[in-house]
Structure 1
């Protein structure tokens, strides 16, 4: 079968249709006047108004954003330094260390949540935002570490060696040469980790405190009383925000590439 045949285009069209149909349904019913998600009775913005007036939901969203950004920043530092360290060592136990570094992704979330809960209890750490931050950082680090590790594997080590030959120290060579080259991997890994942090329910339930609620936990607890189209409105706003972040990231990357290309042309 040819790669550009009509059948392959139809097949891909069906796949994308099935993937994005639920998303389209959520967006459409966020503007539905009726509370029942059965049929569209009329256009209305009342669910967005109720969402903006729901202080508990807005507070949970703020907690999730703070938690996601904080855990990704901490995980970005740990994951980047860990990937650089693993790339430079030549120990016999390097393979075991690489396996241990991605172990949080391989352990079922319910087991990881129970382990973290028992660990925090033994250390007598009060459950709240601190335990949530530590727990989310644990499973965010592997996403960034794997991205940076893959980028370092394809990077020419002679670039940093040339910087050292020109008089740069180890830290300066890393800061001026290695870090800018691996920054796209750090950003992409951080975005993936942020998405996983915003989506987490199981670990958050185990390490959460009684006074703090994240958005996924808030939505999960509302399932017992019934989910209103207010959740559809919230999902629509988050989808628009996510698309905006990726659009800005893509536009910034294109502008930087264009700037570097113009600089190289002028230099020639």
Structure 2
């Protein structure tokens, strides 16, 4: 093996070890019988059983999952249109303002976004009576505002790679622009939509800062519960919970990659 090649492999191995050894250790210690998370005693499913009986964690997990799913779908719908406009409509009047508004959540700290939305909802509640209280709706609005930008960028880059002659041919054959978008463009950017959905889901279910500002009594998300408990010390139940999330996310990513690879092969398959 050449020296340069050996150095590259070594650096790659160090990078992967730095990223994945902590995750592997977390998974291993989730099966530790001891209450001390850093001292191994015996193999046990004790903390998984305790996790099942933890009503607060389960309730927070279901709330986070509902918000994440709603956020992912709403972000894909709105972000797709925004990305398509940025990629295909050229520099129209107000383009700079529109682009800046779409990209703003990427550069504005979440603390600022959280404070701004909190003040907005408080003022709206005083003026029109909505929202009456902060909860799942206000958290969902905040997460959608954050995730739209990521979906728009993904869709915008994918749309710019498309061959416009395909859409022009459909228009020449009598299809309406709306028909072309749903019949031609959407299938071609389906991988970008799936990537945007997964990214939005992950950002939403993992968000702590916006949720802290926009949540109210009875609407505590999973990151808030985990953060409040970790501040009091490491808990073996957190290892078990993290292991379950890692497993679910890994399975989801593998399935998504498989579906996208099959779609890409079908798209590139030559017409007989």
Between 220-229 and 64-73, report the one with greater CA deviation. Answer: 220-229
Structure 2 residue aligned with 1:119: 120
Structure 2 residue aligned with 1:186: 193
Once the two structures are superposed, the pairs formed by residues 1-268 of structure 1 within 5 Å of their partners are: 5-90=5-90, 91-124=92-125, 125=131, 126-260=133-267, 264=270, 267-268=271-272
* SS of residue matched to 1:31: coil
Structure 1 residue aligned with 2:128: none
Q: Residues 174-215 of structure 1, C-alpha deviation per residue, up to 9 Å, x if partnerless?
A: 001111111111111121111111111111010001111110
Q: Residues 95-115 of structure 1, C-alpha deviation per residue, up to 9 Å, x if partnerless?
A: 332122110111111111000
Q: Residues 138-195 of structure 1, C-alpha deviation per residue, up to 9 Å, x if partnerless?
A: 0010110000001111112221111010110111100011111111111111211111
Cα distance in 1 between the residues matched to 2:225 and 2:143 = 17
Structure 2, unmatched stretches of 5+, are 126-130
1:227 to partner: Cα distance: 3.2
> TM-score normalised to the size of structure 2?
0.92
Structure 1 contact 143–190 (Cα < 8 Å) conserved = no
Structure 1, unmatched stretches of 5+, are none
1:37 to partner: Cα distance: 1.8
> TM-score normalised to the size of structure 1?
0.94
Structure 1 contact 144–190 (Cα < 8 Å) conserved = yes
* SS of residue matched to 2:42: coil
1:93 to partner: Cα distance: 3.4
1:84 to partner: Cα distance: 1.2
Between 82-91 and 101-110, report the one with greater CA deviation. Answer: 82-91
Cα distance in 1 between the residues matched to 2:97 and 2:267 = 39
Number of aligned positions between the proteins: 265
Cα distance in 2 between the residues matched to 1:86 and 1:62 = 35
Cα distance in 1 between the residues matched to 2:136 and 2:147 = 16
Cα distance in 1 between the residues matched to 2:25 and 2:13 = 18
Cα distance in 1 between the residues matched to 2:8 and 2:260 = 31
Structure 2 contact 37–234 (Cα < 8 Å) conserved = no
Q: 1:240 to 1:82 in 2, by over 3 A?
A: same
Structure 2 contact 87–157 (Cα < 8 Å) conserved = no
1:6 to partner: Cα distance: 1.2
* SS of residue matched to 2:85: helix
1:259 to partner: Cα distance: 4.2
